[in-house]
Amino acid sequence: MDTKSGETRDFIVERLAEARERTRWLLRTLSDEDLARQHDEVMSPLIWDYGHIGNYEELWLLEQAFGRGLSERELYDMYDASLTPRSERPSLNLLDRGDAGRYLDAVREAVLEALGEADLATDDPLLKDGFVYHMVLQHEYQHNETMLQTIQLMQGVGYRPEIRADLPPGNQPKEEMVYVPGGSFVMGTEDRAWALDNERSAHEVETQGFYLDATPVTNHAYLEFVENGGYDREELWDPEGWAWKVEEDISSPGCWYQPDPHRWWTQCFGFHEPLLADAPVMHVSWFEADAYARWAGKRLPTEAEWEKAASWDPKEGTKRLYPWGDQPPMPERANLDQLTFRPAEVGAYPDGASAYGSSGMIGDVWEWTASEFSAYPGFESFPYREYSEIFFHAGHRVLRGGSWATRPGAVRNTFRNWDFPIRRQLFVGFRCAR
């Protein structure tokens, strides 16, 4: 074992333990009933996510990597996301909290044993530089955010989150938009240790010069759109979005409500409070973001524009892993990691700004882009088609940047998330371009 792979191994062991600790922490105060129930048809029962996290680990870190799976076929099938749609998962004979907990522990024990004997300096692309471990870690992180979306949708007494960090105050930038000059930049990455298949290949993209909002659109700005009749003006809407809005009878973002006709409040995780004017708007669909942008005389940025503004260092002609540089996220630079349970007021992280001066690109809220989720030039499905490939050109729009509920290891400038344009259960907002 060389030193480099020895370090990788210790790091992986530590991260796997830390990821599991967080998963259990998120579920710790929920009743067995709340774990088993389906709180919304677009989400799985939480107990499915819990078992699925363990089964994904078994599939990739035991079965696929070493041919050392533990379970019967039926268990794999039950937790295979591509076999049972979310709406049907409550009817599965899922492991309960106790059994799932013991199953996850048994998988982990075998995983650590196999890891102890693994050669991470190999040419096998699955194991090389720890890729498959990083993929499984990111999978658990992603499901942690999914679980928080489900918890947010839970009816009843609500979930009382434990807030573990205070938010810095907001600071509206002097200029509403930043300018990103035209020219080419490198989009995507060649990284094979952490990046997922859809982030590759790195390729040059030419953009025209454009303006980008310096911060995400705030509740205050979005309320002007609402009060200006934005939801009643068909000409502002994509026809499909208009039909969705009419059908669902939607007239404001998710979680907004009016305790009386003069005030707007929000309901988040069982907390009721006045709308925070300077925080980014959250729980809006792509269609709502698109209509707002048109109302404002702007448009949504393309995915390429978003990534250029977040990642390109025009002075050096190099690409940054995060807007502020290559240093990993710290609480001083971005609101991530489920510490605050809400987005900060815009401009709260001046040290997290990109080279072009746009702020809040990583953390706070995911941001919708104009682009449909599709393959980059040179894309190769790896290690399985169901991570990305089956979702290309299926009507999903790309989201960038992560939210307050995203674990730091699950987001970077090149990370691509996606969902249908009608969805708004995500911790999602947007910024506009022109």
Sites of contact with ligand AVJ (CB under 6 A)? 81, 139, 142, 146, 387, 417-418
Whichever of 88 and 351 has its CB closer to ligand AVJ, that residue is 88
CB of 60 to ligand AVJ, least distance (A): 11
CB of 231 to ligand AVJ, least distance (A): 27
**E-strand stretches of 320-384:** 366-372
The token pair at 274 is: 């006045």
Whichever of 265 and 387 has its CB closer to ligand AVJ, that residue is 387
CB of 121 to ligand AVJ, least distance (A): 28
Whichever of 210 and 373 has its CB closer to ligand AVJ, that residue is 373
Whichever of 142 and 425 has its CB closer to ligand AVJ, that residue is 142
CA–CA gap between residue 281 and residue 401 (Å, rounded): 15
Whichever of 133 and 256 has its CB closer to ligand AVJ, that residue is 133
Rounded to the nearest 10 degrees, what angle do helices 239-248 and 286-295 cross at? 120
Residue 353, amino acid: A
CB of 111 to ligand AVJ, least distance (A): 18
Whichever of 256 and 373 has its CB closer to ligand AVJ, that residue is 373
Whichever of 279 and 426 has its CB closer to ligand AVJ, that residue is 426
Question: What count of other Cβ atoms lies within 10 Å of the Cβ of residue 302?
Answer: 17
Torsions phi, psi for 268 (to 5 deg): -130, 125
Report residue 71 CA to chain centroid gap.
30
What secondary structure letter does DSSP report for 124? -
CB of 386 to ligand AVJ, least distance (A): 7
CB of 242 to ligand AVJ, least distance (A): 26
CB of 139 to ligand AVJ, least distance (A): 6
CB of 223 to ligand AVJ, least distance (A): 29
Q: Do 339 and 164 meet the contact criterion of CB atoms below 8 Å apart?
A: yes
Torsions phi, psi for 259 (to 5 deg): -65, -25
Residue with smallest beta-carbon separation from ligand AVJ: 142
Question: What count of other Cβ atoms lies within 10 Å of the Cβ of residue 27?
Answer: 20
How far is the CA of 368 from the CAs of 233, 406, 410, 413, 419, in angstroms? 21, 15, 17, 14, 9
CB of 415 to ligand AVJ, least distance (A): 9
Q: Do 210 and 433 meet the contact criterion of CB atoms below 8 Å apart?
A: yes
How far is the CA of 281 from the CAs of 107, 152, 198, 342, 431, in angstroms? 40, 16, 28, 11, 10
Whichever of 42 and 304 has its CB closer to ligand AVJ, that residue is 42
CA–CA gap between residue 418 and residue 434 (Å, rounded): 23
Query: Pairing between strand 312-313 and 417-419?
Result: unpaired
Q: Which of 332, 318, 357 lies closest to 202 in space, CA to CA?
A: 318
Whichever of 39 and 139 has its CB closer to ligand AVJ, that residue is 139
